[in-house]
Amino acid sequence: MIICANPKAQYLSYKEEIDSSIDKVLNGSQYILGEEVELFEESFANYIGVNSAIGVANGTDAIEISLKAMGIGNGDKVISVSHSAVATIAGIESTGASAIVVDLEPDFFTLDNELLESAYTNDVKAVVAVHIYGQSSDIYKIKEFCKSKGIYLIEDVAQAHGALNNNKRLGSIGDVGTFSCYPTKNLGAIGDGGIITTDDENLHKKMKMLREYGWTERVSQIKGRNSRLDELQASILNVKLRYLDRDNQKRKNIADIYDQLSFDDFITPAKRSDCDHVYHLYVCKTSKRDELMNYLNERDIFPGIHYPVPIHLQPAYKDNIAIGSDMHVTESIANNIISLPMYPELSLDDAEKVYNAIKNFFK
């Protein structure tokens, strides 16, 4: 059976090192915010190329805490996309702010920066740009827009740990970068985890307080909450961070095989020039999506769909989310996309099997 993602296989790849780092935490004296979290924050900040990083409980909290540190909440608006994990919008709305969603660039499936101006009002205080599937959004153009309006830019890098745009790691270009370390992510924990990167010292201080009750020295200076990354997850992430570039390279090798599939009715998002795609997901679009899915399932291949329903059409949001543009690109891809099996431990032989099955389907 060939599955879409396989975090257990990754645990088995690094089992010895992970087991020993877990053992060290279990037999240590600090289970929360100890030396493993500190080491992870420092190493991840260095890896991304920013001054600091803050470990939090998950990628949704990372968005919420970033926005709150920027002073964004009730009555404010934040522009983002509807083609993402629902977490992107949940993170925005849990601050009390409301989201405005805009459509995508048809070639790249990322936020269309040309739509920002018409969606903008004086209440808009930030843009959350999602680097979907492992590839950069048009982040420098979006940054230019944010700068012209004096608003914040958050990079949602949950799907693109290690990806580059013009030799800069994603998560080092906006005011903050928010990462999820959910087990299937390019840098995944064995449980929930998240991390926020920034060069801004004031935001850093505030985010650190917000993740732990608004404390400095155990006294709440501002209203915060509990969103700590724990020592066990940090110790696992410390092991996996050492192999992130190697694992991303394995994903790229699999993508090279899938890239040879060339059919009129089988289209992958275009690759952005001067960017390095880390293939959290390998997605393609075909009008025969459901037939292809069945065909692959019958051959023991189980792709995924990211995402089947745009957020603005989901029951929780459909009557109350602001739509900042026509949404035809977002709506048209939801019914046609399929995510092929993609994880570092997927063998190239299995990737070839997927490739051959798709080739046979289209011939």
Least distance to ligand PLP, CB of residue 98, Å: 18
* Helix (H) / strand (E) containing 68: helix 59-69
Least distance to ligand PLP, CB of residue 356, Å: 29
Report the alpha-carbon distance of residue 175 to residue 95 in Å, rounded. Answer: 18
Which residue spans within the chain are E strands per DSSP?
A: 2-3, 52-56, 77-81, 98-102, 124-130, 152-156, 164-165, 168-169, 176-180, 194-198, 215-216, 219-220, 275-276, 282-285, 301-302, 322-323, 337-340
Contact 233, 103 (CB under 8 A): no
Report the alpha-carbon distance of residue 156 to residue 55 in Å, rounded. Answer: 15
Residues contacting residue 186 through CB under 8 Å, at least 6 positions apart: 134, 159, 160, 161, 162, 244, 247, 248, 251, 278, 280
Query: According to CB under 6 A, which one of 44, 133, 145, 182 is a site residue for ligand PLP?
Result: 182
Nearer to ligand PLP, 182 or 361 (CB): 182
* Helix (H) / strand (E) containing 119: helix 116-119
Query: According to CB under 6 A, which one of 21, 180, 268, 286 is a site residue for ligand PLP?
Result: 180
Q: Which stretch binds ligand PLP (CB under 6 A): 151-159, 210-218, 236-244, 326-334?
A: 151-159
**How do the residues of the chain divide into helix, strand and coil, expressed in percent and rounded to 5?**
40, 20, 40
Q: Which stretch binds ligand PLP (CB under 6 A): 2-10, 155-163, 209-217, 342-350?
A: 155-163
Contact 97, 151 (CB under 8 A): no
Helix (H, G, I), strand (E, B) or coil at 136: coil
Least distance to ligand PLP, CB of residue 260, Å: 27
Least distance to ligand PLP, CB of residue 308, Å: 14
DSSP 159-175: T-TT-EETTEETTSSSS
Query: According to CB under 6 A, which one of 158, 275, 311, 346 is a site residue for ligand PLP?
Result: 158
Nearer to ligand PLP, 59 or 162 (CB): 59
- x/- track of binding to ligand PLP for residues 82-121 (CB under 6 A): --xx-xx---------------------------------
Q: Which stretch binds ligand PLP (CB under 6 A): 133-141, 156-164, 228-236, 315-323?
A: 156-164
- x/- track of binding to ligand PLP for residues 23-62 (CB under 6 A): -----------------------------------xxx--
Token pair, residue 75, equals 């009555």
Contact 225, 213 (CB under 8 A): yes
Least distance to ligand PLP, CB of residue 60, Å: 3
DSSP-derived pairing of the beta strands 337-340 and 282-285: antiparallel
Q: Which stretch binds ligand PLP (CB under 6 A): 71-79, 81-89, 236-244, 323-331?
A: 81-89
Nearer to ligand PLP, 193 or 324 (CB): 193
Beta bridge partners of 156: 130, 178
Determine if 227 is a binding residue for ligand PLP (CB under 6 A): no
Phi, psi of 79 (to 5 degrees): -90, 135
Size of the site for ligand PLP (CB under 6 A): 15
Token pair, residue 135, equals 């590839």
DSSP classification of residue 263 = B
Nearer to ligand PLP, 173 or 257 (CB): 173
Query: According to CB under 6 A, which one of 183, 194, 304, 310 is a site residue for ligand PLP?
Result: 194
Burial status of residue 239 (CB atoms within 10 A of its CB: 0-12, 13-18, 19 or more): middle
Report the alpha-carbon distance of residue 228 to residue 249 in Å, rounded. Answer: 30
Least distance to ligand PLP, CB of residue 25, Å: 21
Least distance to ligand PLP, CB of residue 61, Å: 7
Least distance to ligand PLP, CB of residue 97, Å: 16
Residues of this chain that interact with ligand PLP (CB under 6 A) are 58-60, 84-85, 87-88, 130, 156, 158-159, 180, 182, 192, 194
